[in-house]
Structure 1
Amino acid sequence: MSHDVKSDIQNGRTVLGIEFGSTRIKAVLIGPDHTPIASGSHDWENSYANHIWTYSLEDIWKGLQDSYQKMANDVKRQYGVTLQTIGAIGFSGMMHGYMVFDESGELLTPFRTWRNNITEQASEALSGLFNFHIPQRWSIAHLYQAILNQEEHVAKIRFQTTLAGYIHWKLTGQKVMGVGEASGVFPIDIHTKNYHASMMKQFNELIASKNLPWQLEDILPAVLVAGESAGTLTIEGAKLLDVTGELQAGIPLCPPEGDAGTGMVATNSVAVRTGNVSAGTSVFAMVVLEKELSKAYEEIDLVTTPSGNLVAMAHSNNCSSDLNEWVGLFGQFAKAMGMEADSNRLYGTLYNLALQGDPDCGGLLAYGYLSGEHMTHFEEGRPLFVRSAESNFNLANFMRVHLFTALGALSIGMDILLKQEAVKLDEILGHGGFFKTEGVGQKIMAGALNVPVSVMETAGEGGAWGIALLASFMMNRAEQEPLEEYLNRKVFAGKAGVSVQPDPKDAAGFEAFMKRYTKGLAIERAAVEFLNENNNGTKGA
């Protein structure tokens, strides 16, 4: 095996993917069979400076160079060769946010990440103007807010991009981005696979009175779809990426993509009627649509796959954090009783008990709102557990209600898609901590969404692997081959994963629970207001 890998490395039959996540930058090198052969990562944290969540340019480059170097060292250690050439490279990063540059390529204001909720005025105005939901984190909302705030740097803007778009530009000289990434910058017209022309015109008319020296199309990157070539690594770019100077210039790069797109690729959910749910601290579902929705919804964001197919995204801020704290409490109880229960056994026992509860959780109610929840219009949250004297209060129902409520806010967004818009879904692919205990989260999710849910072994590989697959697709696709066919044929063939069909009892039970959940939001509202009145929002009282 290893001598083959060695010649693959020496002959540039490998592909490199690097993703900038919010806490980790990860580099993954894959072989011709798409399996990872080396990797390296760099931990980093955003900083909060002048009321803005940001990462400095210095941290961006240090993190990129460190993750690349660790991957290259991993190659050397395992295969005894120095990495000098690669078949193709791809970059991915956190979507949205705001990076703007002047004529000489200098950053005009510190990078504003997707985490900043400072664009409410712009988000509302643009959503109304376009009749299309523009979330606060989108790049166009950041740009318009800066215009509304009369920030003096706005007149000097000559280029606006995202984190992945910035890295790609510096390494290739090309001002481009993948359509999935671009769909979080400005709305995309799925017929042209480019920025929505009439909305762009509306934006230019909206800002005409400001007499700025640019129109929107002058400053945004060009849009490319998966499979298209996006330039090559320049001599300067090679030095920026590999500080040892071993890596050669001329390597082709695929269009830079956002983390939503690479997540879809890594979970093989880019075809219409498929979707994926990432469930951990927060939970979001992405569903590839066959046709456009009938109207704009505040609860649903519209983005695209890396090929430019329309994707509806339902995102909830709270998922498993409160549930994890309850499991931790039972762990403390076990310890106090002199029992040693490791975390896997604890989760396994408690999660499996939930499957024995009453379908509707026996009348119990809980909210895991550790933070606010935009799906249900809460600026802040209070975790709550509520029951009546008639509820069937036992451990199985207690665990079941906490698993159900972890998906409560998400299911409100999914109901819009599946019930109001009659979107058809053949299956959803689940990944994240919620699915760690085999079979349980999956069965609950299938009941909650009333759709078959699959869990795949490879889903843990993440976005760096996803962008490596996109670079590989660009390099190896058959002529005109669609991305979903390439993934099915070359990457995921024989990796079916385990699929669970929805149990009608679970589906009916979840529906009954959701009636209680929706009605009980008044209790959650009262808890938020009561605590605010009594301690002016300080914690711990």
Structure 2
Amino acid sequence: MSLDVKNAILSGKTVLGIELGSTRIKAVLIGEDHTSIASGSHDWENSLVNNFWTYSVEDIWKGIQDSYRKMAAEVKQQYGVTLQTIGAIGFSGMMHGYMAFDQAGELLVPFRTWRNNLQEQASSELTELFNFHIPQRWSIAHLYQAILNGEEHVANISFQTTLAGYIHWMLTGEKVLGVGEASGMFPIDIHTKTFNTAMINQFNELIASRNLPWQLQDILPQVLSAGERAGALTAEGAKLLDPSGELQAGIPLSPPEGDAGTGMVATNSIAQRTGNVSAGTSVFAMVVLEKELSKAYDEIDLVTTPTGNLVAMAHSNNCSSDLNAWVGLFEEFGKAMGMNLDKNELYGTLYNLALQGDPDCGGLLAYGYLSGEHMTHFEEGRPLFVRSSGSSFNLANFMRVHLSTALGALKIGMDILLKQEAVKLDEILGHGGLFKTKGVGQRIMAAALNVPVSVMETAGEGGAWGIALLASYMVNKGEGETLEQYLNERVFAGQTGEKIAPDAKDVEGFEVFMDRYKQGLAIERAAVTHLA
């Protein structure tokens, strides 16, 4: 096996995926069987500069080079060869945000990330104009807010892109984006798989009185779908990625994608009637739609798969942070009692206890709002635990209410899709920390959504693996082979994962809990108002 991998490395049969997440940059090199053969990562953090959350250009390249260097060092250590060529490379990054460049290719203002929430006026006006929900974090909202603010740099824009698009441009000279990533910049026409021309014209009319020297279509990147070639690594690009000079130019690159798209690929949930839910610090569900929604909803974002199919996204800012804090309190208690508790065992014990609780959580109520929650219209949050004298207050119900409330805001968004819009969903793939304790997060999620929830062993591979799979598809696909076929037959064949179907009593109990959750939002509002 080691010899096969070594030969694949020497003959350029490997594929590299690099994803820039909000706290970690990860590089994954995969072999011909699509499994990881080497990886490297780099931790980084955003900074608040002049009221904008940002990462510096220096930190971007330092992080990419460090993760690549660590991956290449692992190749050298494990297989005794120096990495000089690769079959294909793909880059992915956190979606949305704002990177605007002048004619000379200079960044006009520091990179503004998705995390900035200063685009409320732009978001509201564009949503009304297009009759299509434009979240604050989308690139077009950032651009329009800069226009509304009268920022001087706007007149000098020659090109606007995302983090992944910028890196791809620097390495290949190509101003392109994958359609999934592009769908977080500006609405996509799902028939043409590119930016919506009618909405571009509406935007140009909206800003006509500003007399800017460009029109929107002039500054946006070209949109490509999965499988299309997106340029090749230039000599300058090779040196930028690998300053050691070992990596050769000419390697083909796949269209740069967003972290939402790579998450869909990594969980094999890009086909219609499938979806995936990522549950950790925040929680979001992506559902591939069979048809367009009947109207725009503030609670639902519409993006696309890397192949251009329409995806509805329900996103909640808060999920497991408050739950983790309570587990930490029990760990502290254990230490005070002289017990040295293993953290995984502690989580497993407490989570499994939740399954012994009442389906409606015994009348208990909690909100894990460490931050604001747009799904329920809170600018700020206050974590709360509330019970009445008639509640059934025991440890099992206490754990169950905290697991349930972690999915409360998400359920509000998903109910719009599944109940109001009657979207059909055969199953949803779960990944993230909430599913680490086997069977527990799955069962609560199945109760919340009333949909079977599966967890695959590969779900922990993450977005860097997902973008590597997209790059592999580009160079290895057969004639007429779709991405869905490639993933089903070549990557995930035989992997069914662990599936849990919703239990009728759990579903009924969760609905009772949700009635209490919605009624109690007034308590959360009072806490935000009166508790500093």
TM-score range, shorter chain: over 0.9
Post-superposition offset of 1:339: 2.4
Aligned to 1:277: 277
The count of corresponding residues between Structure 1 and Structure 2 is 532
Distance 1:179 1:64 in 2: 23
Counterpart for residue 470 of structure 1: 470
- C-alpha separation between the residues in 1 aligned to 2:144 and 2:35? 42
Instruction: State the AA in 1 paired with 2:387.
Output: R
Q: Secondary structure at the match of 2:53?
A: strand
Q: How far did residue 139 of structure 1 move?
A: 0.3
Counterpart of 2:375 in structure 1 is 375
C-alpha distance in 2 between matches for 1:78 and 1:470? 25
TM-score w.r.t. the length of structure 2 is 0.99
**Shift of residue 313, structure 1, vs aligned partner:** 0.5
Aligned-pair distance for 1:336?
2.2
Alignment partner, residue 181 of structure 1:
181
1:338 Cα offset (Å): 2.5
Aligned to 1:345: 345
Correspondence for 1:448: 448
Distance in structure 1 (CA, Å) of the matches to 2:346 and 2:105: 54
Aligned residue in 2 for 1:134? 134
CA deviation map 1:119-151 (0-9, x unaligned): 111111100100000000100001101111111
Q: How does 1:189-338 map to 2 (within 5 A)?
A: 189-338=189-338
Deviation digits for residues 194-229 of structure 1 (CA, Å, limit 9, x no counterpart): 101110000000011111111100000000000000
3-state SS of paired residue (1:328): helix
> Structure 2: which amino acid aligns with 1:278?
S
1:56 match: 56
Q: Which amino acid aligns with 2:8?
A: D
Q: CA deviation at 1:364?
A: 0.9
- What is the SS of the residue equivalent to 1:278? strand
- Deviation sequence 1:69-121 (CA, Å, 0-9, x none): 11111111111111111000000001111111111111111111111111111
Q: Which amino acid aligns with 1:366?
A: A
The residue identity in structure 2 corresponding to 1:155 is: A
Deviation per CA, 1:405-449: give whole Å up to 9, x if none: 110000000000000000000000111111111111111110110
CA distances 1:272-291 after superposition (whole Å, capped 9, x unpaired): 11111110111001100010
TM-aligned CA deviation for residue 346 of structure 1? 1.1
Amino acid paired to 2:369: Y
Deviation of 1:452 after TM superposition, in Å, equals: 0.2
Q: Distance in 2 between matches of 1:64 and 1:347?
A: 34
Q: 1: CA distance between counterparts of 2:298 and 2:331?
A: 39
SS at match of 1:238: helix
Question: Percent identity between the aligned chains?
Answer: 81
- Deviation string, structure 1 residues 338-370 (Cα, Å, up to 9, x no partner): 223211111111111111111111111111111
* CA distance in structure 2 between the aligned counterparts of 1:393 and 1:44, rounded to whole angstroms: 42
TM-score, length-scaled by structure 1: 0.97
Structure 2 residue aligned with 1:400: 400
Aligned to 2:115: 115
**How much is the aligned-residue C-alpha RMSD, in angstroms?**
0.8
Q: Secondary structure of the residue that 1:488 maps to in structure 2? A: helix
Q: Distance in 2 between the 1:21 and 1:321 partners?
A: 18
Give the distance between the partners of 1:256 and 1:508, measured in 2 at CA: 43
Q: Give 1:334 deviation, angstroms.
A: 2.1
Tell me, what secondary structure is at the counterpart of 2:297?
A: coil
Displacement, 1:41?
A: 1.1
Distance 1:154 1:325 in 2: 44
Gaps of 5+ in 2: none
**Partner of residue 150, structure 1:** 150
2:522 corresponds to: 522
For 1:330 and 1:27, the matched residues in 2 are separated by 36
Q: Which amino acid aligns with 1:176?
A: V
Q: Distance in 1 between matches of 2:340 and 2:49?
A: 44
Aligned residue type for 2:239: K
2:25 and 2:335 map into 1 onto residues whose CA distance is 37
Which residue pairs with 2:412 in the alignment?
A: 412
1:84-95 alignment, distance < 5 Å: 84-95=84-95
Deviations 1:426-480 (A, max 9, x none): 0001111111111111111101100000011111111110000000000111112
Code of the aligned partner of 1:504: A
Mapped to 2, the partners of 1:64 and 1:227 lie a distance apart of: 24
Superposed, which structure 2 residues align to 1:502-517 within 5 Å?
Answer: 502-517=502-517
State the Cα distance separating 1:391 from its structure 2 match.
1.1
User: Which amino acid in the other structure matches residue 344 of structure 2?
Assistant: N
The answer for the alignment partner of 1:37 in structure 2 is 37
Structure 1 counterpart of 2:509, one-letter code: G
Residue 298 of structure 1 aligns to a residue whose secondary structure is: coil
Counterpart secondary structure, 1:297: coil
Deviations 1:381-407 (A, max 9, x none): 111111111111111111111111110
Q: Deviations over 1:41-66 (max 9, x none)?
A: 11111111111111111111111111
Structure 1 unpaired stretches of 5+: 532-536
